Structure 1
Amino acid sequence: MNPYRLLASLLLVAAPAVSAFEFKSVGAPSVILYDTPSPKGTKMYVAPRGMPLQVVSSYGDWVKVRDANGELAWTEAKGLSARRNVIVRTPGAKVFAGPDENAQVLMTADKGVVLELVDPTALAWIRVRHRDGINGYVRSNDIWGL
């Protein structure tokens, strides 16, 4: 077999493994996270509205999700929204007026603050919106949910 064709075939097989993660946010007022895909499972905790979750897999009407702490759990898919939020993971993360550390600081966000993701295609600087209406940019390494 042609070595270039073999390489192309291997890249096509590997492509799904390098695709972007799927993230959703809690769309209901809150959702219960279980240890199994069933309401008869053990309730682990309640995730509040807006909390970002990484979708790991699906099973019927249930999705297995990972939270910002790396914990895995199951929840009903109907409680999640395609709206994208991120969560601050660095204490005192700064939200800047522009994608530059020399830009004006609009606010400082505590660890755990949820921000709406405005531009999901950005890489180093992420455009976000706080629930109080503040729009700005945060460094990607200060947040989780991308």
Structure 2
Amino acid sequence: MIGTMKGWVAAAALALAVSGGVDAAQAAQERGAVTNLPIPRFVSMKASEGNVRRGPSLTHRIDWVYKRRDMPLEVTAEYGHWRRVRDRDGAGGWVHYSLLSGVRTVLVEQDMLELHSRPEDKAPVVAKLALGVIARLGECETDWCELTAGGYSGWAVKRAMWGVDPAELRE
């Protein structure tokens, strides 16, 4: 019965998407078994240090330690209190959920990324961010996102950062 119900719900979501009720990608998006939040999704490191383990328990070996607070990470799976994450380089492992935050951040991937006063190429530049800077993510339009870093706030082109989906829109 449960398998039949899941199949029916998936079919209904797909039918709604095809009929124009919701975006097809949104209807097909996987949900976490623990949180029911979208998988994959972006989060950030809440702690200044976090062990990355081979598996979802304290008995699994620590492969490395993340040492940057606010670093954006992508959650790719959930198991109990554990989240499998990956970073910008594709490296990942299991991290305890208490080390993660829903606060959205991005990693600047373009040196001297210009922050504009408005989401337009010709808008005045208010600051420039160095390669590797972690910025807080605000509103996102189709090609632009609002960022805050080092006391500055402005709009940058979405393709120059990691930690936001290219199709993601945020208010």
Short-chain TM bin: 0.7 to 0.9
Letter in 2 for 1:109: L
Give the gaps of 5 or more residues in structure 2: 1-11, 31-37, 165-171
Structure 1: distance between partners of 2:121 and 2:40: 27
Asked whether the 8 Å contact 2:51–2:62 carries over to 1, the reply is no
Tell me if 1:8 matches 2:19: no
Structure 2: distance between partners of 1:46 and 1:75: 10
1:142 to 1:10, Cα distance in 2 relative to 1, 3 A: closer
Q: TM-score, normalised by structure 1?
A: 0.82
Q: Larger RCO: Structure 1 or Structure 2 (Cα < 8 Å, ≥ 6 residues apart)?
A: 1
Equivalent residue, structure 1, for 2:127: 107
Letter in 1 for 2:118: G
Identity %: 27
Asked whether the 8 Å contact 2:40–2:77 carries over to 1, the reply is no
Q: TM-score, normalised by structure 2?
A: 0.71
Letter in 2 for 1:100: E
SS at match of 2:29: helix
Pairing 1:114-125 to 2, within 5 Å after superposition: 114-119=134-139, 121-125=140-144
Tell me if 1:141 matches 2:159: yes
Aligned residues: 139
Structure 2: distance between partners of 1:93 and 1:20: 29
Letter in 2 for 1:32: N
Tell me how large the CA RMSD over aligned residues is.
2.6
Structure 2 residue corresponding to 1:32, chosen from 45, 51, 56: 51
